[in-house]
Structures are given as C-alpha cells and as structure tokens.
C-alpha cells in the first residue's frame, strides 16, 4: 500500500524540498500551507497530474485547521501514515528588542504549531496503530542560535523536548516521533535572513566550510518515515556541519 505523508509549510523552501523527496520515494504527499493558492501551485509543480499530491490550507496556529486537514486527507485517500511538522517563522530581531507580541507570534507558529500537530496527528496515528511524526527543530535550539532571534531559538529548543514527550506517549501505539535539527541550510530563507557579509563569516565558522543541503534533509525524513525506523524514537538528528557536537 502506498503510504500518505503530510508536510506543513510545504509551499516553498525546505517544506517544498521535503515534499518532493517524499514524493520521489513513492509516497502520496499532502502539501499543506497557510496559503491554499501557494500550496496548489507547489502541488502542481510536483505532480501535474494531481494523482499523488493533494494541496490543503493549514494554518498551524489553528487547531481547527489541523483537524480539518486530517479529515480532508482521510476523505481523499482514506488514511494518513506520516506527518512532518515543518512550518515555522524565522525572525532575527535582537533579543532586547523583541516585543512580547512578536515573541508570542513566533512561539504560536513554531512551538504551538508543532505541539498541536503532534497532538492531532498523533492521536489519529495511535488509533491506527502505526505512524511516523518528524518535527523540524534547529541547531538554534541547541546552541542558542547564531543568526536567528531568541524567540526562534527558544521555540526550536522546546520542540526537541516536545519530541521526547510525544515519543514516550505514543511509542506503545506503534507511532515514532523524531526531530531533525539542521544548521544553516543553502536556501532563500537563510540568504534572506543573513546579510551576505555576515553569511560569509558564518560559513567560515562551520567546520565543513559550507551550508547544508536541503535535499539531504528530505532524504533523512524519508528514512525516519519508513517502516524500518520502528526502533528510532525520541531522537534529535543533528545536521549542522560540525557546529554542534554532542
């Protein structure tokens, strides 16, 4: 049976790359994003036939959106096997200038969005007796951040903890929950967030002297989403070029 995977924030950037890798690996893929038009455009780009890709609106700050998206997937394909909580906001405001409102906004998307995704999809997958959840954390959540804001780093650090909590909660039901913590990735988002001169110095500080590869992250997610990954749960996989070593 062809498995079904849903990716949040999949209309562009890393999410789009992840969706593409899952599709290439044989999954049917749900491209979800807060912008339905953007999700539809990406879905068409990935699979013009529309047979193996479904576009859905999903604003991760809304639990109702998660519930509606899950219902839509079940109505369309009858089942869901894999959920990738990827949607996030990256902001670089200096810590002493972050307003409480901006802090709450970043946390509501990055952390609460992952929490609700694990809750809604995790409950469904547990009832099915099988599932894979992969959360996108970040190097920033491990070392306090090198180029991102404190609110971003704090939210990503909390995602690592949430991953362990849901892994324990769902393990006996056949559902694994893992996280990936990427360092700086070659992507439009990174280049938009970091000025060229600062990015050059950032790359020089990476032991492997280059930015990460988004396609590799997608392939790692494919591995963690596989049936063979049943003995891997509660883990955070570091992909950071040697910046952070345990």
**Token pair for 24:** 């290439």
User: Which pair of tokens denotes residue 156?
Assistant: 């990503």
CA separation for the pair 19, 17 (Å, rounded) = 5
Q: Which of 27, 124, 130, 152 is catalytic?
A: 152
Residue 182's SS3 state is strand
- State how far the Cα of 155 lies from the Cα of 140, in Å rounded to an integer: 9
Cβ burial of 210 (10 Å; 0-12, 13-18, 19+) is: exposed
HSE-up of residue 229 (Cα within 13 Å, Cβ side): 21
Q: Are 109 and 86 in contact (CB under 8 A)?
A: no
Distance (Å, whole) CA 27 – CA 150? 36
The verdict on whether 130 is a catalytic residue reads no
* Other beta carbons within 10 Å of 197: 8
The span from the CA of 222 to the CA of 154, in Å, is 27
CB 136 within 8 A of CB 14: yes
Handedness of CA 52, 55, 56, 59 (dihedral sign): positive
Contact of 106 with 55, CB cutoff 8 Å: no
The structure tokens listed for 93 are 């405001």
Catalytic positions, written as ranges: 152
């Amino acid at each position: 049976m062809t498995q079904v995977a849903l990716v949040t924030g999949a209309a562009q950037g890393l999410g789009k790359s992840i969706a593409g890798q899952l599709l290439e690996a044989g999954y049917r893929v749900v491209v979800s994003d807060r912008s339905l038009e953007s999700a539809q455009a990406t879905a068409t780009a990935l699979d013009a036939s529309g047979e193996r890709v479904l576009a859905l609106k999903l604003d991760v700050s809304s639990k109702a959106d998660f519930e509606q998206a899950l219902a839509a997937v079940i109505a369309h394909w009858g089942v869901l096997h894999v959920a990738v909580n990827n949607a996030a906001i990256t902001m670089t405001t200096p810590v002493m200038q972050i307003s409480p409102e901006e802090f709450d906004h970043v946390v509501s998307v990055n952390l609460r969005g992952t929490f609700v995704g694990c809750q809604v999809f995790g409950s469904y997958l547990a009832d099915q007796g099988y599932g894979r959840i992969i959360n996108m954390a970040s190097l920033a959540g491990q070392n306090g951040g090198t180029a991102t804001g404190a609110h971003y780093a704090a939210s990503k650090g909390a995602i690592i903890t949430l991953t362990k909590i849901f892994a324990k909660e769902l393990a006996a039901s056949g559902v694994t929950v893992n996280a990936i913590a990427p360092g700086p990735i070659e992507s439009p988002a990174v280049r938009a967030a970091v000025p060229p001169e600062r990015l050059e110095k950032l790359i020089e500080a990476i032991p492997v002297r280059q930015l990460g590869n988004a396609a590799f992250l997608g392939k790692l997610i494919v591995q963690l989403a596989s049936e063979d990954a049943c003995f891997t749960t509660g883990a955070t996989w570091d992909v950071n070029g040697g910046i952070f070593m345990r």
